[in-house]
Structure 1
Amino acid sequence: MPIEPLKPILEAALLAAGQPLSLVQLCALFGEDEGVSREDVARALEALAADCAGRGVELKEVASGFRYQVRTTFQPWVARLWTEKPARYSRALLETLALIAYRQPITRPEIEQIRGVVVSSSIIKTLEEREWIRVVGHRDVPGRPALYGTTRAFLDYFNLKSLDELPPLSAIRDLQDPQLTLAEAAASLGPPASDDGPPRETAAATDLPAEPFPARADGAATHRDS
């Protein structure tokens, strides 16, 4: 089927949804009698993405599906539409999130062993409230501590389709950049401490932007870590 008639329909649906739409959801827009295949929808999405070249918006595929968003290049100007400044999270929170993202599934005691300090309950609570992490199981050891992993919402927020798109730790060099990424936070900790080795000294706490990866297009305010 020609894809040109499909493009405005898909574009309208993506703009109206206000959230990512999966390929299955987009295919469900069409009835069986319309003769639109999954391949037709996929080709139309590719064409819509190509149409965004040189524009201020892009069609991006994230974990939950496809969405239109402002290109990060224009985020500084778009952000001025909102008077409230984005919340900023502590380095401790970002380091905790980085460890969960890169070494999941991981328990709270394991995070504490690597960081060398107790992980505040407020950090775990904030990450769970943001729906960036969740309990994915329990370690089969005395006490059965919870195992934490990241969520689909985490991938969506940080503009990732899958965990495979996380930047490799080996690629991180400069930790002085104030826009600290998850990879930089994890890299700053080094390898996990051995069971009988001394704990690592934790990095000094500092306020960091709530969006270590490129900012979301909607510029919505986020929660602040206590």
Structure 2
Amino acid sequence: MAEQERMLEAILFATSEPITLRDIAARLPHGCDPAEAMVYLRKRYEGRGVQVVKVDDAYAMRTAADLGYLMQKETVEVRKLSRAAIETLAIIAYHQPATRAEIEEIRGVSVSRGTLDQLLELEWIRFGRRKMTPGRPVTFVVTQEFLAHFGLETPRDLPGLKELRSAGLLESRPAFGTIPMLDGEEDEEEATEGQSELFED
């Protein structure tokens, strides 16, 4: 197992993008168990300056979150998302796979091509499978880059209504009636304000 850990470590170190266990297994000698080796490897890196993190269904080596400031440049380009982009991103994150029509139905207004292009350019969303409905509309889903930016393993780790309220991102009144996953009925305007603060980090 120690040798398998070494091999996993070498693969993760040399890979620029997160890699799945399936892809790792294809590189390892026959009979290796990358899933078990990954458990031991992640434990060995706990508390270190570099950690092995899970991003969706893949793994990667990343600088420990509390040491990120050491990697910052002196000049940082700040690109604030528009309110429309923030709302669109939040809807896709909580409703994926979501079509453009579904996004517009939830927001109550049309979604401009520029808004989606901006999120695609940031690589926070990507095209998903076409929906099996008339017209076969394309869907949108969040990416590994989105999950990594917000420190999430999967979209299921997105904060729920209670977490948003406890963090002060939503008022104590009910919110976001059009998003069933948030489990409540509230005014869309108030909810999108909360989502805006969430995604401006």
Q: So what's the TM-score if we normalise by structure 1? A: 0.65
Residue in structure 1 matched with residue 69 of structure 2 by the alignment: 76
Residue in structure 1 matched with residue 32 of structure 2 by the alignment: 37
2:18 aligned with 1:25: no
Q: Tell me the distance in 2 between the aligned counterparts of 1:101 and 1:188.
A: 20
The answer to whether the 8 A contact 1:100-1:148 is kept is no
Map residues 189-204 of structure 1 onto 2, 5 A cutoff: 190-192=176-178, 201=189
Residue in structure 2 matched with residue 53 of structure 1 by the alignment: 46
Q: Tell me the distance in 1 between the aligned counterparts of 2:32 and 2:88.
A: 43
Map residues 128-143 of structure 1 onto 2, 5 A cutoff: 128-129=120-121, 130=123, 132-138=125-131, 140=133
Higher helix share: 2
Question: Once the 2 structures are TM-superposed, how far is the Cα of residue 5 of structure 1 from its aligned partner?
Answer: 2.0
Higher relative contact order (CA 8 A, sep 6+): 1
Residue in structure 1 matched with residue 100 of structure 2 by the alignment: 108
Residue in structure 2 matched with residue 160 of structure 1 by the alignment: 152
Residue by residue, what CA displacement relative to the aligned partner does 1:28-65 show, whole Å, maximum 9, x if unpaired? Answer: 33333xxx422xx3232222211222222211111241
1:190 corresponds to which letter in structure 2? F
The answer to whether the 8 A contact 1:63-1:162 is kept is yes
The answer to whether the 8 A contact 1:107-1:148 is kept is yes
1:134 corresponds to which letter in structure 2? F
Residue by residue, what CA displacement relative to the aligned partner does 1:160-188 show, whole Å, maximum 9, x if unpaired? Answer: 333322222332116766xxxxxx7xx99
Residue in structure 1 matched with residue 184 of structure 2 by the alignment: none
Question: Once the 2 structures are TM-superposed, how far is the Cα of residue 135 of structure 1 from its aligned partner?
Answer: 4.5
Identity %: 28
User: C-alpha root-mean-square deviation of aligned residues, in Å?
Assistant: 3.5
Residue in structure 2 matched with residue 148 of structure 1 by the alignment: 139
1:25 corresponds to which letter in structure 2? D
Q: Tell me the distance in 2 between the aligned counterparts of 1:188 and 1:93.
A: 23
Q: Tell me the distance in 2 between the aligned counterparts of 1:211 and 1:19.
A: 24
SS in 2 for 1:172: helix
Q: Tell me the distance in 2 between the aligned counterparts of 1:82 and 1:13.
A: 31
Residue in structure 2 matched with residue 196 of structure 1 by the alignment: none
Question: Once the 2 structures are TM-superposed, how far is the Cα of residue 139 of structure 1 from its aligned partner?
Answer: 7.2
Q: Tell me the distance in 1 between the aligned counterparts of 2:69 and 2:128.
A: 35
Aligned residues: 187
Residues 107, 10 of structure 1: CA spacing in aligned structure 2 closer, same or farther, 3 A cutoff?
Answer: closer
SS in 1 for 2:27: coil
The answer to whether the 8 A contact 2:18-2:59 is kept is yes
Question: Once the 2 structures are TM-superposed, how far is the Cα of residue 137 of structure 1 from its aligned partner?
Answer: 2.3
2:117 aligned with 1:125: yes
Question: Once the 2 structures are TM-superposed, how far is the Cα of residue 124 of structure 1 from its aligned partner?
Answer: 0.9
Q: So what's the TM-score if we normalise by structure 2? A: 0.72
